[in-house]
Amino acid sequence: MAGVSLPTLIPARVLAAPGRPGANDTIGVGFIGIGRQAGGLLAGAARLGEAKITGFADVNLKRAKENAAKFNAFACQDYRQLLERKDVDAIMTATPEHWRILIVLHACQAGKDLYVEKPLTLTIREGRLMAEAARKYGRIIQTGSQQRSDPLDIAACEFIRNGGLGKIKRVEAAAYPSPWDHRMPEQPKPEELDWNMWCGPAPLVPYNESLYVPRERGPVAPGWLSLRPYSGGEVTGWGAHGYDMIQYALGKDNSGPIEIWPEGPKFNPPVYTAPESKKRGDSICLQPKVFFKYEGDIVVEPAKGPNFGAIFHGEKGWLKVDRGRLDSAPEDIFMNLMKNKPKVDGHTTNWLKCIKSRQQPTAPVEIGHRSATVCHLVNIARWTNRKLKWDPAKETFIGDADANQYLDRERRKGFEVPERI
């Protein structure tokens, strides 16, 4: 597959949308990327009667075949072969972030619904393209922001959004490190791995195991989740959870902040030239601290935590939301929420039901895009080192051409994204 060229459009033979699954039909689910995170998604989907695991695509062909053997399923190295199959109705994907846009666009064009891990995108522009594709091709896309299906997080965010704390004065959120750069030495590549395809839209660089793994694994470190141009760092890694809860609780699912600014030392990321723990890079790339503001003078300020949510300060007290862990003052706020939490479906169950009903899922593409946008805004504030004014309706920085250059990225020849979907 060296020199692979990805088409702007999927071949016409694939464009016919599959038949809508009936209420009692199983849904053929294929996986694109079957590494660490996708393994958990696979285990969850395999337990559900609504899903039948029908195929796997992975740039590591050995990994695809090993998983396929457990389900008597199809295996391939090129995900486009999976998209051509009639027994695949929907896709679950947890690839590195630099690959998400092409997989989502091609799957939508092929008539497949998608479950896409968070963060949804690597750039702001990619999210808008995904939303446009989902709308044009009538696809159901669930973002893997599973806290949207946590009953306590739902209860807490609805309580805040409905005025339970009164007017929100300020929000405390965790500070997350941005990604840094690398020039890793070349190592022998596993025979079964198509490294050119793994790099995909990103520059083709020498293979190194400490780049290939998602997060550090002993001496194999730091992993692509900490490195540009594959990821937004932990700002998008963990921030996609924490900032998503802020968007949810403030009722900003179709909007976002209006100002973002850094405070502290200028961003000065390291360049890793050999395997090394992410600890040093995380420490350096936490600076400067980044604040952002919503309409109504609601300022989100960086704090030590919580990592999966935020602390909301209102006229009537404060409430901490942190992946099903609540705290508050006065205490009866969170005690009442725990007693009255809603009954909800699991995140994957919700997605499968929506594939059949064609209703929007709990975390649809627009929500995933808007929450990822907050993460990207934090990174851009660090990269530009100045206060930025953001127009959430037009999705552009106001009067700042330099900052607007970060709305998207260059992609390697053969892996381009079309201007129009």
What is the tens place of the pLDDT at every residue in 354-390? 999 999 999 999 999 999 999 999 999 999 999 999 9
CATH number of residue 46's parent domain = 3.40.50.720
Average pLDDT of the chain to the nearest whole number: 94
Half-sphere CA count of 83, side-chain side, radius 13 A: 27
Question: Is 416 inside a domain boundary?
Answer: no
For residue 165, give the nearest of 326, 339, 342, 292 by alpha carbon. Answer: 326
Peptide bond into 179 cis (omega under 30): no
Question: Is 334 inside a domain boundary?
Answer: yes
List the Cα angle 215/216/220 in 5-degree steps. 130
How would you class 222 by CB atoms within 10 Å of its CB: exposed for 0-12, middle for 13-18, buried for 19 or more? buried
Q: Are residues 56 and 134 in the same domain?
A: yes
Q: Are residues 272 and 284 in the same domain?
A: yes
Helix or strand (DSSP H, E) at 108: helix 100-109
pLDDT at residue 9 tops 60: no
The domain boundary, picked from 125, 148, 171, lies at: 148
pLDDT of residue 21: 63
Q: Are residues 264 and 175 in the same domain?
A: yes
Question: Is 98 inside a domain boundary?
Answer: yes
The domain boundary, picked from 126, 148, 170, lies at: 148
Q: Are residues 85 and 131 in the same domain?
A: yes
The DSSP symbol for 163 reads: T
CATH number of residue 307's parent domain = 3.30.360.10
> What six digits make up the tokens of 100?
């998400």
Task: Kindly give the residue spans of alpha helices, DSSP state H, lying in 162-277.
Answer: 195-199, 209-212, 234-237, 239-249
Structural domain boundaries enclosing 310 = 151-180+224-342+366-407
Indicate the number of domains in the chain. Answer: 2
What is the tens place of the pLDDT at every residue in 134-181? 999 999 999 999 999 999 999 999 999 999 999 999 999 999 999 999
pLDDT of residue 2: 38
Q: Are residues 244 and 329 in the same domain?
A: yes
**What does the alpha-carbon distance between residue 119 and residue 132 come to, in Å, rounded to a whole number?**
18
pLDDT at residue 15 tops 50: no
Prediction pTM value: 0.94
Longest CA span, the chain: 62
**What does the alpha-carbon distance between residue 393 and residue 396 come to, in Å, rounded to a whole number?**
8
pLDDT of residue 3: 41
What is the tens place of the pLDDT at every residue in 44-85? 999 999 999 999 999 999 999 999 999 999 999 999 999 999
Half-sphere CA count of 372, side-chain side, radius 13 A: 32
**What does the alpha-carbon distance between residue 10 and residue 92 come to, in Å, rounded to a whole number?**
18
The DSSP symbol for 98 reads: G
Q: Are residues 126 and 229 in the same domain?
A: no
Residue recorded with tokens 């808007």: 370
Q: Are residues 61 and 176 in the same domain?
A: no
Q: Are residues 102 and 40 in the same domain?
A: yes
What is the tens place of the pLDDT at every residue in 293-345? 999 999 999 999 899 999 999 999 999 999 999 999 999 999 999 999 999 99
How would you class 125 by CB atoms within 10 Å of its CB: exposed for 0-12, middle for 13-18, buried for 19 or more? middle
pLDDT of residue 12: 37
